[in-house]
Amino acid sequence: MGFTRAELESYRGASVDDLMPEHPRLVFVGINPGLWTAATGTHFAHPGNRFHPALVAAGILPRLPGYANGLSEADRRMFLDAGIGITNLVHRATARADELDRVELREGAARLERDVARWRPRVVAVVGITAYRLGFDRPKARAGRQEETIGGAELWVVPNPSGLNAHATVADLARAYAEPALAAEVIARGPSNSE
């Protein structure tokens, strides 16, 4: 499925519902929906985004969902049954994340903390170091597990899978996403990567 520029622009400012199981173990937090995501109603749906391929490569999902045209009920169930939730720091759709301002990101971080306390996941993984630094006022934060928690959950920051972050390969993303998934016990450490 393709969209014209005008069709995509019509989704500017729209929001996408959270994908959240009743008892999440791991919640991925995107920066905000892109226009393609808003058009399909599916998080990380742009065809150039490597989020879903990285989840499969990390062993978090057993197969690649048909995400570019919206999730089927079977694909939604695959996420929910695995205990994986997806939300956004800011719910307003834009063409690029750099269209967001610091106030929106900080308000989103405060709302996220309240939501996480209500959802009670084991682990939260914020997808994108720059948004994390701005939203949580942590200008020197590094990717990986953070010292602080959020809403009682372990907090991680992982690389952004956008095609604009081209230096990170699917294999790099898979390694980064596997760490919070291991902490959340969404995947188990296998014999090949045990310590």
Look at residue 1 and tell me if it is in a domain.
no
Kind and range of the H or E run holding 144: strand 144-150
CATH number at residue 151: 3.40.470.10
Under 8 Å CB-to-CB from 73, ≥6 apart: which residues? none
Look at residue 11 and tell me if it is in a domain.
no
Nearest-angstrom CA–CA distance, 53 and 161? 10
How many domains would you assign to the chain? Answer: 1
Reply yes or no on whether the pLDDT at 1 is more than 70.
no
Least confident range of 2-6, 46-50, 103-107, 188-192: 188-192
94-130: per-residue pLDDT in tens?
999 899 999 999 999 999 999 999 999 999 999 999 9
Look at residue 80 and tell me if it is in a domain.
yes
pLDDT (0 to 100) of residue 48: 83
Mean pLDDT value across residues 131-144: 95
Look at residue 75 and tell me if it is in a domain.
yes
Q: 34: which 2 tokens?
A: 């892109």
Look at residue 29 and tell me if it is in a domain.
yes
pLDDT (0 to 100) of residue 91: 96
160-188: per-residue pLDDT in tens?
998 666 678 999 999 999 999 999 999 98
Q: Percent of the chain having pLDDT more than 90?
A: 83
> pTM here?
0.93
Reply yes or no on whether the pLDDT at 39 is more than 50.
yes
pLDDT (0 to 100) of residue 66: 86
**Distance between terminal CA atoms of the chain?**
44
Look at residue 125 and tell me if it is in a domain.
yes
Summary mean pLDDT of the chain? 92
pLDDT (0 to 100) of residue 190: 57
Look at residue 134 and tell me if it is in a domain.
yes
65-88: per-residue pLDDT in tens?
987 678 899 999 999 999 999 999
Least confident range of 14-18, 45-49, 184-188: 45-49
Q: Which residues lie across from 87 on neighbouring strands? A: 29
* Angstrom distances, CA of residue 9 to CA of 44, 45, 53, 90: 17, 16, 26, 18
Look at residue 191 and tell me if it is in a domain.
no
**Which range marks the domain in which residue 103 is found?**
20-185
